[in-house]
A and B are shown apart, each in its own frame.
Chain A
Protein backbone atom coordinates (compact mmCIF):
# COMPACT_ATOMS: atom_id res chain seq x y z
CA UNK A 1 0.00 0.00 0.00
CA UNK A 2 1.17 3.55 -0.78
CA UNK A 3 2.57 5.71 2.01
CA UNK A 4 0.65 8.79 3.13
CA UNK A 5 1.84 12.04 4.70
CA UNK A 6 -0.38 14.13 6.94
CA UNK A 7 0.28 17.15 9.15
CA UNK A 8 0.72 16.19 12.76
CA UNK A 9 -1.90 18.58 14.09
CA UNK A 10 -4.43 21.21 13.05
CA UNK A 11 -6.83 23.57 14.79
CA UNK A 12 -10.24 24.66 13.57
CA UNK A 13 -12.83 27.06 14.96
CA UNK A 14 -16.20 25.58 15.82
CA UNK A 15 -18.68 26.08 13.00
CA UNK A 16 -16.01 26.60 10.38
CA UNK A 17 -14.95 24.12 7.74
CA UNK A 18 -12.06 21.84 8.62
CA UNK A 19 -9.83 20.94 5.68
CA UNK A 20 -7.47 18.06 6.36
CA UNK A 21 -4.83 17.40 3.69
CA UNK A 22 -3.15 14.13 2.81
CA UNK A 23 -0.29 13.51 0.45
CA UNK A 24 -0.07 10.15 -1.32
CA UNK A 25 2.27 10.87 -4.19
CA UNK A 26 3.13 7.19 -4.80
CA UNK A 27 -0.47 6.06 -5.12
CA UNK A 28 -1.15 3.40 -7.75
CA UNK A 29 -4.07 3.22 -10.11
CA UNK A 30 -5.78 0.43 -8.17
CA UNK A 31 -5.48 2.08 -4.77
CA UNK A 32 -8.35 3.82 -3.01
CA UNK A 33 -8.12 6.64 -0.48
CA UNK A 34 -9.91 6.01 2.84
CA UNK A 35 -10.39 8.26 5.81
CA UNK A 36 -11.03 7.13 9.38
CA UNK A 37 -11.06 9.08 12.59
CA UNK A 38 -10.42 8.06 16.17
CA UNK A 39 -11.95 9.91 19.06
CA UNK A 40 -10.13 9.53 22.35
CA UNK A 41 -10.62 6.13 24.00
CA UNK A 42 -12.58 4.72 21.07
CA UNK A 43 -11.74 2.60 18.07
CA UNK A 44 -11.36 4.22 14.64
CA UNK A 45 -14.54 5.14 12.76
CA UNK A 46 -14.93 5.02 8.99
CA UNK A 47 -15.65 8.39 7.38
CA UNK A 48 -15.41 8.18 3.60
CA UNK A 49 -13.44 6.74 0.70
CA UNK A 50 -12.88 7.36 -3.01
CA UNK A 51 -10.87 6.39 -6.06
CA UNK A 52 -10.65 9.47 -8.25
CA UNK A 53 -13.96 11.27 -8.14
CA UNK A 54 -14.91 13.62 -5.35
CA UNK A 55 -17.20 12.00 -2.81
CA UNK A 56 -19.65 13.34 -0.25
CA UNK A 57 -21.65 11.69 2.49
CA UNK A 58 -23.41 12.78 5.64
CA UNK A 59 -20.16 13.11 7.52
CA UNK A 60 -17.73 14.73 5.12
CA UNK A 61 -16.52 15.45 1.60
CA UNK A 62 -13.44 13.99 -0.03
CA UNK A 63 -11.62 15.94 -2.72
CA UNK A 64 -9.01 14.00 -4.69
CA UNK A 65 -6.72 15.92 -7.05
CA UNK A 66 -6.77 15.03 -10.72
CA UNK A 67 -3.34 13.37 -10.53
CA UNK A 68 -4.51 11.54 -7.36
CA UNK A 69 -1.31 12.45 -5.55
CA UNK A 70 -3.15 14.23 -2.76
CA UNK A 71 -6.57 14.56 -1.22
CA UNK A 72 -8.45 16.73 1.26
CA UNK A 73 -11.06 15.68 3.77
CA UNK A 74 -13.56 18.44 4.44
CA UNK A 75 -15.77 18.63 7.51
CA UNK A 76 -18.14 21.41 6.44
CA UNK A 77 -19.19 22.69 9.88
CA UNK A 78 -16.84 21.40 12.53
CA UNK A 79 -18.17 20.82 16.03
CA UNK A 80 -16.35 20.12 19.29
CA UNK A 81 -17.24 16.45 18.84
CA UNK A 82 -15.13 16.35 15.67
CA UNK A 83 -11.98 16.69 17.77
CA UNK A 84 -10.13 13.48 16.95
CA UNK A 85 -7.17 11.92 15.16
CA UNK A 86 -7.89 11.65 11.43
CA UNK A 87 -6.20 8.94 9.41
CA UNK A 88 -5.74 8.98 5.66
CA UNK A 89 -5.16 5.48 4.28
CA UNK A 90 -4.36 4.29 0.81
CA UNK A 91 -4.90 0.65 0.03
CA UNK A 92 -5.33 -1.77 -2.79
CA UNK A 93 -8.91 -2.94 -3.03
CA UNK A 94 -8.08 -6.61 -2.74
CA UNK A 95 -5.90 -6.12 0.34
CA UNK A 96 -9.04 -6.48 2.38
CA UNK A 97 -9.21 -4.33 5.49
CA UNK A 98 -5.54 -4.81 6.13
CA UNK A 99 -4.77 -1.12 6.30
CA UNK A 100 -1.68 0.87 7.18
CA UNK A 101 -2.91 3.73 9.35
CA UNK A 102 0.13 5.94 9.85
CA UNK A 103 0.10 8.52 12.65
CA UNK A 104 -2.74 10.72 11.39
CA UNK A 105 -3.63 14.37 12.02
CA UNK A 106 -4.88 15.47 15.42
CA UNK A 107 -7.68 17.92 14.74
CA UNK A 108 -8.68 20.16 17.62
CA UNK A 109 -11.92 22.07 17.21
CA UNK A 110 -11.97 25.13 19.44
CA UNK A 111 -15.02 27.08 20.63
Chain B
Protein backbone atom coordinates (compact mmCIF):
# COMPACT_ATOMS: atom_id res chain seq x y z
CA UNK B 1 0.00 0.00 0.00
CA UNK B 2 1.83 3.04 -1.27
CA UNK B 3 -0.99 5.49 -0.65
CA UNK B 4 -2.69 7.87 -3.05
CA UNK B 5 -0.20 9.62 -5.29
CA UNK B 6 -0.80 12.95 -7.01
CA UNK B 7 1.32 14.64 -9.64
CA UNK B 8 2.50 17.34 -9.83
CA UNK B 9 2.62 18.65 -6.25
CA UNK B 10 2.73 22.22 -7.46
CA UNK B 11 1.69 23.84 -10.72
CA UNK B 12 2.04 27.48 -11.69
CA UNK B 13 0.34 28.56 -14.87
CA UNK B 14 -0.78 31.68 -16.64
CA UNK B 15 -4.41 32.58 -17.01
CA UNK B 16 -5.91 31.02 -20.10
CA UNK B 17 -3.61 28.00 -20.18
CA UNK B 18 -4.78 24.41 -19.82
CA UNK B 19 -3.52 22.22 -16.99
CA UNK B 20 -3.84 18.52 -16.23
CA UNK B 21 -3.36 16.75 -12.93
CA UNK B 22 -2.92 13.05 -12.33
CA UNK B 23 -4.02 10.87 -9.44
CA UNK B 24 -2.96 7.28 -8.80
CA UNK B 25 -5.26 5.71 -6.22
CA UNK B 26 -4.42 2.90 -3.85
CA UNK B 27 -4.33 -0.38 -5.77
CA UNK B 28 -7.64 -2.21 -5.85
CA UNK B 29 -9.60 0.87 -4.73
CA UNK B 30 -12.54 1.09 -7.09
CA UNK B 31 -13.77 4.53 -6.00
CA UNK B 32 -11.91 7.72 -6.77
CA UNK B 33 -12.83 11.27 -5.75
CA UNK B 34 -11.67 14.74 -6.64
CA UNK B 35 -11.97 17.60 -4.17
CA UNK B 36 -10.92 21.24 -4.29
CA UNK B 37 -9.69 23.19 -1.30
CA UNK B 38 -9.07 26.92 -1.07
CA UNK B 39 -7.06 28.56 1.68
CA UNK B 40 -8.76 28.41 5.05
CA UNK B 41 -11.67 26.32 3.81
CA UNK B 42 -12.46 22.64 4.01
CA UNK B 43 -12.29 20.44 0.91
CA UNK B 44 -15.22 20.68 -1.51
CA UNK B 45 -16.43 17.69 -3.50
CA UNK B 46 -16.01 17.93 -7.27
CA UNK B 47 -16.65 14.52 -8.76
CA UNK B 48 -16.29 10.79 -8.23
CA UNK B 49 -15.78 7.59 -10.15
CA UNK B 50 -16.65 4.03 -9.47
CA UNK B 51 -14.22 2.06 -11.60
CA UNK B 52 -14.18 3.92 -14.93
CA UNK B 53 -17.67 5.37 -14.61
CA UNK B 54 -18.04 8.97 -13.52
CA UNK B 55 -21.10 8.78 -11.31
CA UNK B 56 -21.53 12.30 -10.06
CA UNK B 57 -20.32 15.81 -10.70
CA UNK B 58 -20.72 18.81 -8.40
CA UNK B 59 -22.15 22.09 -9.60
CA UNK B 60 -18.67 23.43 -8.82
CA UNK B 61 -17.35 21.52 -11.80
CA UNK B 62 -17.83 24.00 -14.62
CA UNK B 63 -17.62 23.14 -18.32
CA UNK B 64 -13.93 24.01 -18.25
CA UNK B 65 -13.25 21.07 -15.96
CA UNK B 66 -13.15 17.47 -17.13
CA UNK B 67 -12.13 14.33 -15.33
CA UNK B 68 -11.42 10.88 -16.66
CA UNK B 69 -10.53 7.52 -15.25
CA UNK B 70 -9.68 5.25 -18.17
CA UNK B 71 -9.57 1.56 -17.31
CA UNK B 72 -10.61 2.32 -13.76
CA UNK B 73 -7.09 2.93 -12.50
CA UNK B 74 -5.46 6.37 -12.47
CA UNK B 75 -7.49 9.53 -13.04
CA UNK B 76 -6.80 12.88 -14.64
CA UNK B 77 -8.41 16.23 -13.96
CA UNK B 78 -8.07 18.83 -16.70
CA UNK B 79 -8.87 22.51 -16.40
CA UNK B 80 -9.13 24.40 -19.66
CA UNK B 81 -8.67 28.15 -20.02
CA UNK B 82 -7.64 28.55 -16.40
CA UNK B 83 -8.83 31.54 -14.40
CA UNK B 84 -7.36 33.09 -11.27
CA UNK B 85 -10.32 31.73 -9.32
CA UNK B 86 -9.15 28.22 -10.12
CA UNK B 87 -6.18 28.69 -7.81
CA UNK B 88 -6.60 26.06 -5.11
CA UNK B 89 -5.39 22.73 -3.82
CA UNK B 90 -6.84 19.84 -5.82
CA UNK B 91 -7.13 16.71 -3.73
CA UNK B 92 -7.71 13.16 -4.86
CA UNK B 93 -9.04 10.41 -2.63
CA UNK B 94 -9.82 6.75 -3.09
CA UNK B 95 -11.75 4.10 -1.23
CA UNK B 96 -12.34 0.38 -1.49
CA UNK B 97 -15.93 0.04 -0.41
CA UNK B 98 -19.10 1.98 -0.03
CA UNK B 99 -21.61 2.17 2.77
CA UNK B 100 -20.99 3.19 6.35
CA UNK B 101 -17.49 1.72 6.43
CA UNK B 102 -16.27 3.82 3.53
CA UNK B 103 -13.09 5.65 4.48
CA UNK B 104 -11.45 8.08 2.13
CA UNK B 105 -7.69 7.94 1.67
CA UNK B 106 -6.41 11.27 0.41
CA UNK B 107 -3.33 12.18 -1.53
CA UNK B 108 -1.24 15.23 -0.65
CA UNK B 109 -2.84 17.25 -3.41
CA UNK B 110 -1.75 19.43 -6.31
CA UNK B 111 -1.42 23.12 -5.48
CA UNK B 112 -2.45 25.19 -8.50
CA UNK B 113 -1.53 28.84 -8.81
CA UNK B 114 -2.97 30.78 -11.74
CA UNK B 115 -1.17 34.05 -12.43
Majority SS at the chain A contact face? loop
**Which residue of chain A is the closest to B106 with respect to CB atoms?**
A43
Contact call A98/B45, Cβ cutoff below 8 A: yes
Interface string of B72-115 (1 = CB under 8 A from A): 00000000000000000001110100111011111111000000
* Selected contact of A102 from candidates B42, B99, B100, CB within 8 Å: B42
In the bound complex, what is the Cα–Cα distance between A45 and B107 (angstroms)?
A: 9
Interface residue tally on B, bucketed by range = 20 to 34
Mark B34-58 against chain A: 1 for CB-CB distance below 8 A, else 0.
0000001111110010000001100
In the assembled complex, the CB of B97 is this many whole angstroms from the nearest CB of chain A, namely 10
Give the total number of A-B pairs whose CB atoms are below 8 A apart: 60
Q: How many residues of A contact B (CB 8 A)?
A: 23
* A94 and B102 alpha carbons, distance in the complex (Å): 10
A11 in contact (CB, < 8 A)? no
Report which of B40, B41, B98, B103 forms a contact with A94, defined as CB distance below 8 A: B98
Complex alpha-carbon distance, A69 and B102, angstroms: 22
Chain B residues numbered 11-55 whose CB sits less than 8 Å from any CB in chain A = 31, 33, 40-45, 48, 55
Chain B positions within 8 Å of A, measured between CB atoms, are: 4, 31, 33, 40-45, 48, 55-56, 91-93, 95, 98-100, 102-109
